[in-house]
A and B are shown apart, each in its own frame.
Chain A
Amino acid sequence: MKTLLLVFMLVISAACFSAPISNWEKQKTSHAQIRKGAYINQHYGLVVQQVPGIRMYVDKPPAPNHGALFIIAEKRMMDVFVSAEDPDTDSAAQVVDQLLAVPGTRLIGKREPARLGNVPADQVAYLTAEGEPRRSVVYFDKTAQLSYTATLYSDVAHFAEDASVFAALLQRITIAHRD
């Protein structure tokens, strides 16, 4: 009985700590569904554990399953994305080059080695043409010809604050072999 009561209180506490869903979030996720606990993608060998207090969304069928979206606050979010790369792509650096090749994008600082969960990765921070700051961490699997990218989408006022949430997300990612 005590255990049941404890579980009930934990569930209520978790619900209380989640921010209410804004109209922006409802619109942004109108074709997605909330995923609780962990996102497990056997097809691409990707597991992402939920970040406490952050809602995680995945696409509804028939959409292909390429990753998950995490809403921090209005217009501030993170995603983990698995993408096929051309057969002539050889490195994470080339995938980063593609991110920076979007017209108007400006690199902030320099590229750095980082980790995407359990694997080594390349990290880059940049400003979009609209002046919005982004941070991406990219791992490239040459055998499978797939890139795994986690990105923080924030604004100038919250970038440093959101970076700590993003760091928590990076630690919750596990990349395994494809099925």
Chain B
Amino acid sequence: MACNPNFQEFFDAYIPLIRPMARNLATNEDFLLALVAFEDTWGRDEHNKLLHNIFGLTKAGGRNLHFPTYQACIDYFTTKYKQHFYGVSTLQDWIAGMKKVPYNTVNPVYYIKFTNTYLSVVKHKGECAVK
């Protein structure tokens, strides 16, 4: 299938940010891209854009955390949660890491939906010939 421009736009915007982060965490960039796609609605979340919060992290009171830049958000995530994700090479272990943060406990299908998003990232990276 042809590359959907919405996916191309997402990969163009986020791969330059996520690829170095994945290298620092010695993990597969597709797990991180899936997390951004899921929590930032494939880059369409205008509210998260203002907050530079691409991972959907919250603070007390349930409000999303605010970062001055995307890089600040990436540095925060990398420093705070490195122990859960460093060297992870399988989706199963990545989800286990998310559960240790913990990412979501109240919605039983959250991780099923996350898995679908990961599969979509892999499929559309192929269709968009992302290198």
CA distance A22 to B60 in the complex (A): 26
Residue of A nearest to B60 (CB): A61
CB of A145 within 8 A of CB of B41, answer: yes
CB of A86 within 8 A of CB of B120, answer: yes
CB of B106 within 8 A of CB of A87, answer: no
- A179 interfacial contact with B, CB 8 Å: yes
Residues of B105-124 whose CB lies within 8 A of A: 105-110, 112-113, 116-117, 120
Check A63/B101 contact, CB under 8 A, given A58-B62, A69-B106, A146-B41. yes
Check A66/B59 contact, CB under 8 A, given A32-B105, A43-B47. no
- B70 interfacial contact with A, CB 8 Å: no
CB of B104 within 8 A of CB of A64, answer: yes
Residue of A nearest to B103 (CB): A63
Check A145/B44 contact, CB under 8 A, given A79-B106, A153-B108. yes
Check A84/B60 contact, CB under 8 A, given A79-B106, A151-B108. no
Total A-B pairs, Cβ < 8 A: 102
The interface bits of chain B over 1-30 (1 if a CB of A lies within 8 angstroms of the residue's CB, else 0) are: 000101100100000000000000000000
CB of B59 within 8 A of CB of A61, answer: yes
Instruction: Return the contact of A66 from the options B44, B65, B107 (Cβ within 8 A).
Output: B107
Instruction: Return the contact of B105 from the options A31, A86, A99, A178 (Cβ within 8 A).
Output: A31
- Taking CB atoms, residues of chain A closer than 8 Å to B113 are 83, 98
Least CB distance from A159 to B in Å reads 16
The residue among A28, A29, A83 with the most chain B CB atoms within 10 A of its own CB is A83
B: residues with CB less than 8 A from A are 4, 6-7, 10, 37-42, 44-45, 47, 55-62, 64-65, 101-110, 112-113, 116-117, 120
A: residues with CB less than 8 A from B are 28-32, 41, 43, 57-59, 61-69, 77, 79, 81, 83-84, 86-88, 98-99, 102, 144-146, 149, 151, 153, 178-179
